[in-house]
Structure 1
Amino acid sequence: MGYNPTLKPLTSILTSQRSTTGTYVNAAGQIATAAIDTARIDWSEGTAALLIEAAATNLITRSAASSANWTNQSATLTNKTDAAFGVFPGLLVASTGSASDRAQAAGVLHAGATDYTVTAWYASGTSAQIALQVSLASPATSIKVSGAPGALAVSGTVSGGTVSGVTNRALGGGRYSVSVTYRVTAAVTLSWGMGPNSATVGETMTAYAMQLETGTTATSYIPTSGTTVTRAADICSLDVTPLGLAAGFTIAVKGTVFGTAGVSGIVANFDSGAYDNRQIIVLNSTGSGLGAQAFAGGVSQASTFTAYTPGTPFAAAMRVGPNVFRYVLNASVGADDTSVDFVPPTILRIGGSLASQIPARLRLKSVLLYPALVSDAALTALGTV
């Protein structure tokens, strides 16, 4: 490629900022907590990646399941000492004869026509089924996902709202999580609950915890113990002034972006200290395209977007400089633009920009920065998973 890079851990060269603590999954599969202004290296997908997330709030005021924290809805509840994922004692929920028997977290006031995502952590028991559900008589509201552990799906009729997505995750050792994205038609207070979905007396499951946040993306666990808690956004940056990028550069990033926080979600942003002068790799606001753009003096100089499905791995590479711009995503090569005004950057921002635009959740596996304009063949290789 004409340049031999020096490989270093991302955390050794990036400046990390986050004004609160934040959780992540460590190499042992446990939920760990990173201190304020400390980068999170996350193993939730089985490999190490730098975790970047926008600010999020767990609206459930007591997240960990226990007979003291949650309300009994006709089930038999027994506190456990599992220490699941290193943090959850667990609550055994046994049916007393109805499939609707469950343990229920505190209610949350929902706004109408607003996206919410609820995530529940649980373990299988003697019941062949699991249910995560919410039910309210007035105004009539009912959402239920149920099925075999690790395979929950919408069941019955959804009333008073809509469900746009259900994501199941097997976490090992008979433990799972499920995330449900939904909307309600009008403002209403709802309480989500978990149970064994069984009419057989004594059949069980174990509830561990629950998180409810606005938006369509499930983010890392935010523990609560009496009030809502907000995890601040992650901000990572690198001073690139010493690299001398006046003649242009090439950036290659690999990872997975899971969604935006309502606006475009920037994966990598180069700028000169002014938002008007930037070169970026960005997920568009609808989540349908992952592209690259260049601006000078607030004027768009080049823009290429390629179809992308959030939650899938990507490899993106951008070559940019004076009258040079080309972008490759997952081996799809964009057109060469030879009419580009270029303002050399002085800083690289990972997962955001001077205008914020932080992805809801980004797992970044690698960043390669070349202070040179690599060949077409090298660019294509860099932009291939």
Structure 2
Amino acid sequence: MAGVWKRDGTVAVTNGNKKVTGTGTTFADTKNGVAKGHLFCITSGTSVDFYEVDYVVSNTELYLVQAYRGTTATGKAYEIITTFSDSVPEFARRLTATLSAYQQQSDAFQALLTSTATTVEVTAPDGTKQTLIPWKRVTSEGEGQAARAKTEADKAAASATLAGDIVAASALPLPDVWAPLSDSLRMITGYGRDVLVGSDVVARMVNFSRNSTATYIDKDGLLKTAAANEPRFEKEGLLIEGQSTNLVTKSEDLSTWLKNVDATREKLAGIYTKITATGGTMGCYLAGITLVVGKTYTISFWAYAETLASVRLGVEKESSATVNTITQTPTRYTKTFTATQTNGTIIAYSAPGTSGAFVVGGFQLEELPFASSYIPTNGAAVTRAADVCSVQQAGNFVVPATIGCNYNLLSANRSGLAPAQLLGFVASNKTYDGLRVITSSPLLKLQSLNEFDGGLSPGVTCQLFGTAVFRAANGVRNEFSSGAFGVPTQGDWKGQTLGNTLYIGRAESSDNARYLFGHIRNLRIWHRALTDNQIKAVA
């Protein structure tokens, strides 16, 4: 069992000095402290010396009646005999210490209950100091917190009401025409091509045709081929392109091209051919392509480096139509240029002073200011037919109307082309009416055209991809895109004679220059003028 003498910590003593310095000691402890007359015991050599305590200064300092006789030392063990059960003075001292401790705790408790101070410092029974909050402040803070909580609750209720009003104001009715165009031509609402089971209409579809095959990048990133009249759905939506011709007669198998010096060519799977050059300006070329000086063309191809990244790929003698550096990631590279010569020879060379292997294929040269979807060839130029996408106008386009769709253009550069038509129809025998994106250097603008009434609207700035919204009602029309409304313009088509077809991604005229060359999805038409808040929700 542990003793009752005081022996906690260690002490340092000095020969000839009465002072005792403690480390980890509690000489002044109110419950079992050291007092005058107690015996201080310490081992000195092989003997135990006894000294009478004179007085205590603190928990770590006391003085003896006689000077210390032993050897100067630190970290010494010690004992102080504090228990003299038959001593009246000792009993009185302990009683006083106990009452003092009780009084100290009582004072602390009273301070906690009655003090108006911000904090109260109390001494715990183990002697440590604690800073506490008095009860009056606790109750006052609680009342304040309750008041603040009520205020915040009132604010939250007001905000919830406002949010509810905003949601109600911007809530969209079900579109009268809705074609998601994400992975099929199916319409959720509206009139389209009927799909019948017996005599029952089980679905309605957007009309679509294309008189040739065409390629596209499916949603897993792979190059695929769509059959004639098969729509192409990419991650951006339904791809709609005009007609284009690939002038490169052998787009994939470069082993059939002419060699320039000595280079090894190996046909790989798919569109690729591997070229290994042992020196600079080695590879192959395809001649026989004639360009028209002053016309705009785009050369495109896929390529990646194996051991050689410095190359010359593109149209020979057209500096702005060649790619000189490729990466190790298969990438489609494109270069748009204005022809300065009639010679359109296509080259696939290593760069001067280099050697190594690179992989290339899928060459395409077309008379467009951007690269359209890849057109494979094998011995002759090939033309991809235009996509034709539409729904009937009757029952679908009714004024007043609000039309919204997501769009994505292949390029903002439409040099030599007309504006990109998002929607097109005939009104009062005018064939270019509808919604379009027009280049307004350096910005793009979303505009509407009513040739019979009001002409072209001022429009609103838009982006290469985004949401286009168009509202026609009460004799005016305006557009919304990129978070802004266009200026209202005269002409909403009400009372005008409308045609039979609402074209998607082109004008009513089959003019190739007015094709969207991009993507459309989530086409919606409401037979009403949506409010500004509702239009913001559409966008």
TM norm structure 2? 0.58
Q: Give the 5 Å matches for 1:1-385.
A: 1=171, 3-5=173-175, 8-10=179-181, 11-12=185-186, 13-42=205-234, 47-68=235-256, 70-81=257-268, 83=269, 87-88=270-271, 90-98=272-280, 100-135=281-316, 142-143=319-320, 145-150=322-327, 174-186=329-341, 188-197=342-351, 199-201=353-355, 203-243=356-396, 245=398, 247-257=399-409, 258=411, 259-260=413-414, 262-272=417-427, 274-275=429-430, 278-284=433-439, 288-295=443-450, 298-301=452-455, 303-308=457-462, 312-337=464-489, 340-342=492-494, 343=496, 345=498, 346-357=500-511, 358-359=514-515, 361-383=517-539
Higher relative contact order (CA 8 A, sep 6+): 1
Structure 1: distance between partners of 2:259 and 2:458: 53
* Offset at residue 184 of structure 1 (A): 2.5
For residue 167 of structure 1, what is the aligned residue in structure 2? none
Equivalent AA in structure 1 for residue 345 of structure 2: S
Cα displacement (A) at 1:281:
2.9
Secondary structure in structure 1 of the residue aligned to 2:333: strand
Distance 1:92 1:294, change over 3 A: closer
Distance 1:213 1:277 in 2: 26
Shift of 1:93: 1.2
Counterpart in the other structure of 2:52? none
Q: Please identify runs of 4+ aligned residues in structure 1 that moved more than 6 A.
A: none
- Paired with 1:382 and 1:130, the residues of 2 have a C-alpha distance of 47
Return the alpha-carbon distance in structure 2 between the equivalents of residues 103 and 380 of structure 1. 55
> In 2 relative to 1, CA 372–131 (structure 1 residues): closer, same or farther, beyond 3 Å?
same
Q: Which amino acid in structure 2 is aligned with residue 65 of structure 1?
A: D
Q: CA deviation at 1:185?
A: 2.5
What is the identity, as a one-letter code, of the residue corresponding to 2:408? T
1:56 deviates by 0.3
One-letter amino acid of the counterpart of residue 296, structure 2 = D
1:195 deviation in Å?
3.2
Are the aligned partners of 1:123 and 1:175 in contact in 2 as well (CA < 8 Å)? Answer: yes
| Mapped contact 2:320–2:335 kept (Cα < 8 A) | no
The structure richer in helix per residue is: 2
Contact 1:302/1:340, CA 8 A, preserved across alignment? no
Give the Cα–Cα distance (whole angstroms) in 1 for the partners of residues 491 and 251 of structure 2: 54
Instruction: State the secondary structure of the residue aligned to 2:335.
Output: strand
Shift of 1:338: 6.0
> Alpha-carbon deviations, 1:168-193, whole Å to 9, x = none?
xxxxx82111111112334x222121
Q: Distance in 2 between matches of 1:146 and 1:352?
A: 33
Offset of 1:125 from its aligned partner? 0.8
Q: How many residues align?
A: 340
Task: For 1:115, give the aligned amino acid.
Answer: T
Amino acid at match of 1:178: Y
Aligned AA for 2:267?
Answer: K
Report the alpha carbon displacement of residue 48 of structure 1 after superposing the two structures with TM. Answer: 4.0
Distance 2:391 2:305 in 1: 45
How many percent of aligned residue pairs carry the same amino acid? 22
Residue 110 of structure 1 deviates from its aligned partner by 0.8
| Conserved 8 A contact 1:248-1:371 | yes
Residue 278 of structure 1 aligns with an amino acid whose one-letter code is: D
How big is the shift at 1:117?
0.4
- Please, which runs of 5 or more residues in structure 1 have no aligned partner? 151-172
Report the Cα distance in structure 2 between the residues aligned to 1:276 and 1:92, rounded to whole angstroms.
49
